[in-house]
């Protein structure tokens, strides 16, 4: 079983560096190792912290432990993730997420060159009527649409030709971007970037017709920072280092590395 990499820890919480390729918790169908398993291996006392996931299979109801897990990252997404160590802390952090007081910063490589250096994507999200696994915006969405806002900033543009000050969706052009979701919808950053015609590199779900690129064998999305208030009142920013695939892409593409403020 893999070991947890701890980025920050105190009596109320820990922030881990989640690797790509591991789910946050079980889904009731597979038995692969999850973040929840790793947490319980090291902190068995967290078994009752938080709220379990209730899954129904026919007449059977299964409760899946989510020890201290306040939020989640997609299986292919790497980066910083918050775990509460006791129930009062769980409720404290849960309210911060609900009130949109926790700032989440992601870095990603996308196909093409966004035209603007900064942009706010304000597009409600709903289930994709053509694919039950996906979410989408606009007329293709079904059911109730939920508000979703993401701030985007371009950190670098690069590719097979020189950047000429214009946007592009052509093959061989890429951008290194920062995304700050102001809401917490499922797949929000992936959906918004796809809607902007700049899907994330190697996103097999939202860019299935694009070839994997820049050395990524997985979704090129990394949860870089979390800024939150601790139960004691202190404000804290926790940063996750880039994994090897991000480091390699940044080096090859000569992208600037943003400095933690």
* 34 has a pLDDT exceeding 80: yes
- Which of the following is catalytic: 37, 74, 128, 245? 74
> pLDDT category, 26, cuts 50, 70, 90?
confident
Question: What pLDDT sits at residue 205?
Answer: 95
Question: What pLDDT sits at residue 61?
Answer: 77
Distance CA 21, CA 35 (A): 10
Q: Would 1-99 and 103-227+242-261 be classified into the same CATH topology?
A: yes
Instruction: Give the torsion sign (CA, 87, 93, 98, 99).
Output: positive
pLDDT above 90 covers a percentage of the chain that reads 74
- For the ranges 44-58, 141-155, 177-191, 208-222, which has the lowest average pLDDT? 44-58
Question: What pLDDT sits at residue 130?
Answer: 80
User: Hey, what CATH class is 103-227+242-261 in?
Assistant: alpha beta
**What is the domain partition of the chain in residue ranges?**
1-99, 103-227+242-261
Run of H or E including 105: strand 103-111
Q: List CB contacts of 191: < 8 A, sequence separation 6 or more.
A: 125, 134, 135, 136, 137, 148, 185, 206
> pLDDT category, 239, cuts 50, 70, 90?
very high
Distance CA 9, CA 85 (A): 9
Question: What pLDDT sits at residue 236?
Answer: 96
Question: What pLDDT sits at residue 2?
Answer: 67
> pLDDT category, 255, cuts 50, 70, 90?
confident
Predicted TM-score (pTM) of the model is 0.93
Residue with more model confidence, 140 or 112: 112
Fold exhibited by the domain 1-99: Pseudouridine synthase (3.30.2350)
Q: List CB contacts of 29: < 8 A, sequence separation 6 or more.
A: none
pLDDT mean over 163-185 = 93
Any catalytic annotation for residue 74? yes
Please give the mean pLDDT across all residues of the chain. Answer: 91
* 259 has a pLDDT exceeding 80: no
Each residue's pLDDT tens digit, 186-228: 999 999 999 999 999 999 999 999 999 999 999 999 999 999 9
Question: What pLDDT sits at residue 260?
Answer: 53
Tokens of 30: 């597979």
Question: What pLDDT sits at residue 63?
Answer: 80
Counting beta carbons within 10 angstroms of the beta carbon of residue 61, is it exposed (0 to 12), middle (13 to 18) or buried (19 or more)?
A: exposed
Question: What pLDDT sits at residue 32?
Answer: 85
* 261 has a pLDDT exceeding 60: no
Each residue's pLDDT tens digit, 96-134: 999 999 999 999 999 999 999 999 999 999 998 888 888
Question: What pLDDT sits at residue 206?
Answer: 95
* 1 has a pLDDT exceeding 60: no
């Amino acid at each position: 079983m893999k070991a947890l990499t701890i980025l920050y820890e105190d009596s109320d919480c820990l922030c881990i560096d989640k690797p790509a390729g591991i789910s946050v918790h079980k889904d009731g169908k597979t038995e692969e190792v999850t973040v929840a398993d790793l947490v319980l291996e090291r902190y068995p006392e967290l078994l009752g912290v938080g709220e379990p996931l209730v899954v129904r299979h026919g007449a059977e109801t299964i409760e899946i432990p989510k020890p201290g897990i306040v939020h989640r990252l997609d299986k292919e997404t790497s980066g910083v993730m918050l775990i509460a160590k006791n129930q009062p802390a769980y409720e404290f952090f849960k309210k911060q997420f609900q009130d949109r007081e926790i700032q989440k910063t992601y870095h990603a490589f996308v196909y093409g060159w966004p035209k603007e250096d900064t942009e706010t994507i304000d597009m409600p999200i709903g289930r994709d009527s053509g694919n039950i696994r996906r979410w989408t915006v606009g007329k293709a969405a079904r059911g109730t649409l939920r508000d979703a806002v993401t701030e985007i900033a371009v950190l670098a543009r690069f590719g097979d030709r020189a950047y000429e000050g214009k946007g592009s969706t052509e093959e061989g052009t890429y951008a290194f971007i920062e995304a700050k979701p102001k809401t917490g919808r499922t797949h929000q950053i992936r959906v918004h970037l796809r809607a902007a015609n700049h899907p994330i590199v190697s996103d097999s779900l939202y860019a299935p017709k694009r070839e994997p690129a820049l050395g990524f064998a997985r979704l090129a999305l990394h949860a870089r920072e979390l800024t939150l208030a601790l139960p004691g009142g202190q404000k804290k920013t926790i940063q996750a280092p880039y994994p090897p695939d991000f480091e390699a892409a940044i080096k090859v593409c000569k992208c600037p590395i943003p400095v933690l403020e």
